[in-house]
Amino acid sequence: MIRVLFVCLGNICRSPMAEAVMRDLVEQQGLSAEIKFDSAGTSSWHIDEPPHKGTQAKLREYGISTSGMCARQLTKNDFEAFDYIVGMDASNVQNIRDMLGEPDSQKIFRFLDLTSHKMDVPDPWYTGDFQETYGLAVEGCEALLELILKPSRA
């Protein structure tokens, strides 16, 4: 079983969007028994809240559910529990490394570094552009799924 954790600041916009998109991709490919997902925030601001209404609305447009999702904060136990810990931006990655005490771990990386963009996922909490975030989440999730499946294809 491969386990992936998506992390942003509050765990209500970007990381739950990536989690839901990835879950949908994996279900479409019949891999749900092999790959599991979760998301978390580096802050405690929104613990137990559902995804942002903009995230929910955008995902609903594409037939992707956010049912049962609620924000939680990253914990030290997450380092051992997950194979990949994916930060939505460089600040998130630094906070993850600091919070987990793992400054050099290769399992912690920035989401869009897997794509040609090599950039942060803009936070729609500030930009209001949930479509841009969705498009980047799809692209990043496709690249991440390819990375996860690559060793098993060899």
- Do 5 and 84 touch, CB atoms closer than 8 A? yes
**Active-site residue, from 13, 23, 123, 141:** 123
Q: Is 72 a catalytic residue?
A: no
For residue 4, the cross-strand partners are 37, 84
Q: Is 120 a catalytic residue?
A: no
- Identify the active-site residue in 13, 14, 110, 141: 14
Q: Clarify whether 129 is annotated catalytic.
A: no
Q: Output the CA angle 147-11-6, nearest 5 degrees.
A: 10
What whole-number distance in Å separates Cα of residue 78 and Cα of residue 74?
7
Tokens of 100: 């987990």
The set of residues, in sequence order, having a beta carbon less than 8 Å from that of 12 and lying 6+ positions away, is 41, 46, 49, 50, 51, 52, 55, 71, 125
Active-site residue set = 8, 14, 123
